[in-house]
């Protein structure tokens, strides 16, 4: 019999709030945190809309660790500490070799990269900061989480652009299923609100000039945000033995590759990932009540994702509640799946589907029930979370109540 993997703690930080409960409250209310970017160091960026964390919470992280951390690692540690606190676990409660962490990152420590480029090339300094390499590397967030929490089990980073968090969580599920760990702390993080990253996305011509309107006929593109979403996963037996409060279960995982184009999505790749997730979970398409869509707000993504959903779910596609919470927390790249997990788990626990905010005009090519603007009470038995990334890397997670 396959090992069941359950959720016992959730942590998050993004423009919507500095903890998971605050993030869910804003999601449920349909309030978008997207707005004018306040960072004054963005120079000649044309698109000035984003979703920033205006002020970090008091986190109590030791200064000696802080000086070795880029912002993306700091956000991951803040969210991981919250998730561990909710789980009721600490390193002293468990063999630390049986608990690890896998953190997904879409980019890397670009705040540090940019600081060093500017100090050397513009200010004439002769050398980079001493901690530049360990601050920049994509695996830094996983290492920093492990050090902060004392985790000595499987520890590594995962990077697959916008699907990084879902891939990281899928990898953590595998560690528990394979018996390599009893507990894993996993999720995703990214801090892209720096000049070089925004300038690069600007060149792709996919950024919205105002806000993110997934599935709306007048959508103009995606909006970038920053944040982290982390979760504590345990084998069901381990959680039950210690009397933990179980928030939900990872019912299934589905992974696929488009093998087509580095940026243009296909219908077949997302379709394959959703079908694989349902098969892994051992559930039928009709069992899904809520689907948290990748829903970036670009013309191509929303139309293709809608078509893929119709292929997988058939007539049931029109009975699904669908929404894109990126309309509220923006596209946080490697953190997105971790933040969207907050929506899925709470939708199941509270029987409330969070809305797609900023929706204005129905699109005949996106004709599913996208829960426009206002949350909806509905019993959610199983929720699916889609993540489809540049490179054609797709990862879908299924969540259910225990």
Percent share of the chain, pLDDT over 90: 95
Rounded to an integer, the average pLDDT of 379-393 is: 98
So where are the chain's domains?
5-241, 252-400
Whether residue 329 lies in the annotated active site: no
> Contacts by 67-71 with C-beta closer than 8 Å and gap 24+?
67/131, 68/131, 68/134, 68/135, 68/144, 69/135, 69/140, 69/144, 70/108, 70/109, 70/110, 70/111, 70/112, 70/135, 70/136, 70/140, 70/191, 71/109, 71/111, 71/191, 71/226
Rounded to an integer, the average pLDDT of 24-46 is: 89
Which tens digits make up the pLDDT trace of 93-125?
899 999 999 999 999 999 999 999 989 998 999
CATH number for 252-400 (one of 3.40.50.720, 3.30.70.260, 3.40.47.10, 1.10.10.10): it is 3.40.47.10
- Catalytic residue, from 294, 329, 344, 366: name it: 294
How far apart (Å, rounded) are the C-alpha atoms in residues 307 and 127? Answer: 51
Check pLDDT > 90 for residue 31: yes
Find out if CATH 3.40.190.10 is the number for domain 5-241: no
- Catalytic residue, from 14, 331, 344, 366: name it: 331
- Quick one: pLDDT at residue 93? 85
- Catalytic residue, from 14, 51, 108, 162: name it: 162
- Quick one: pLDDT at residue 47? 83
Which tens digits make up the pLDDT trace of 294-313?
999 999 999 999 999 999 99
- Quick one: pLDDT at residue 92? 84
Beta carbons of 402 and 381 less than 8 angstroms apart:
no
**CA distances (Å), origin 18, targets 65, 182, 272:** 20, 28, 35
How far apart (Å, rounded) are the C-alpha atoms in residues 146 and 230? Answer: 13
How far apart (Å, rounded) are the C-alpha atoms in residues 314 and 123? Answer: 59
Check pLDDT > 90 for residue 43: no
Check pLDDT > 70 for residue 382: yes
- Quick one: pLDDT at residue 46? 85
- Quick one: pLDDT at residue 234? 98
- Quick one: pLDDT at residue 14? 98
Check pLDDT > 90 for residue 55: yes
- Quick one: pLDDT at residue 316? 98
**CA distances (Å), origin 14, targets 51, 78, 138, 288, 338:** 8, 11, 19, 27, 11
Helix (H, G, I), strand (E, B) or coil at 143: helix
- 5-241 with 252-400: one CATH topology? yes
Tokens 């902060």 belong to 148
Whether residue 59 lies in the annotated active site: no
How far apart (Å, rounded) are the C-alpha atoms in residues 246 and 402? Answer: 7
H/E stretch holding 232: strand 227-235
More confident call, 357 vs 41: 357
Residue 45's pLDDT band (cuts 50, 70, 90): confident
Judging by DSSP bridges, how do beta strands 290-292 and 321-323 pair with one another?
Answer: parallel
Least confident of 44-58, 259-273, 332-346: 44-58
- Quick one: pLDDT at residue 40? 63
Rounded to an integer, the average pLDDT of 245-265 is: 97
How much is the pTM? 0.97
Whether residue 316 lies in the annotated active site: no
Check pLDDT > 70 for residue 350: yes
Check pLDDT > 70 for residue 35: yes
Beta carbons of 209 and 47 less than 8 angstroms apart:
yes
């Amino acid at each position: 019999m396959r090992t069941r993997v359950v959720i016992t703690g959730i942590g998050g930080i993004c423009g919507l709030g500095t903890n998971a409960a605050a993030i869910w409250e804003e999601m449920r209310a349909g309030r978008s945190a997207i707005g004018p970017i306040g960072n004054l160091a963005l120079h000649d960026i044309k698109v000035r809309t984003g979703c920033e964390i205006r002020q970090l919470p008091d986190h109590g992280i030791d200064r000696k660790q802080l000086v070795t951390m880029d912002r993306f690692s700091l956000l991951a540690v803040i969210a991981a500490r919250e998730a561990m606190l909710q789980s009721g676990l600490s390193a002293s409660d468990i063999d630390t070799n049986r608990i690890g962490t896998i953190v997904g990152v879409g980019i890397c420590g670009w705040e540090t990269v940019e600081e060093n480029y500017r100090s050397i090339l513009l200010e004439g300094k002769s050398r980079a900061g001493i901690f530049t390499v360990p601050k920049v590397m994509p695996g830094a967030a996983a290492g920093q989480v492990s050090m902060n929490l004392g985790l000595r089990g499987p520890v590594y980073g995962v990077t697959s652009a916008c699907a990084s968090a879902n891939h990281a969580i899928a990898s953590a599920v595998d560690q528990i299923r394979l018996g390599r760990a009893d507990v894993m702390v996993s999720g995703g993080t990214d801090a892209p609100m720096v000049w070089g990253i925004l300038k690069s996305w600007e060149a792709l011509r996919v950024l919205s000039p105002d806000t993110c309107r997934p599935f709306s006929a007048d959508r103009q593109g995606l909006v970038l945000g920053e944040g982290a979403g982390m979760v504590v996963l345990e084998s069901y037996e381990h959680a039950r033995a210690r009397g933990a409060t179980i928030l939900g279960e990872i019912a299934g995982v589905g992974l696929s590759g488009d093998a087509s184009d580095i940026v243009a999505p296909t219908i077949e790749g997302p379709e394959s990932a959703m079908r694989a997730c349902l098969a892994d979970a051992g559930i039928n398409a009709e069992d899904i009540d809520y689907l948290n869509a990748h829903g970036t707000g670009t013309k191509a993504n929303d139309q293709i994702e809608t078509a893929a959903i119709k292929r997988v779910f058939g007539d049931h596609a029109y009975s699904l509640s669908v929404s894109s919470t990126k309309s509220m927390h923006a596209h946080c790249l490697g953190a997105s799946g971790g933040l969207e997990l907050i929506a899925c788990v709470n939708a199941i626990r509270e029987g409330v589907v969070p809305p797609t905010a900023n929706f204005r005009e129905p699109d005949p090519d996106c004709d599913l029930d996208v829960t426009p603007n206002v949350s909806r009470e509905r019993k959610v038995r199983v929720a699916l979370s889609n993540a489809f990334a540049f490179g054609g890397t797709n990862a879908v997670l299924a969540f259910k109540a225990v």
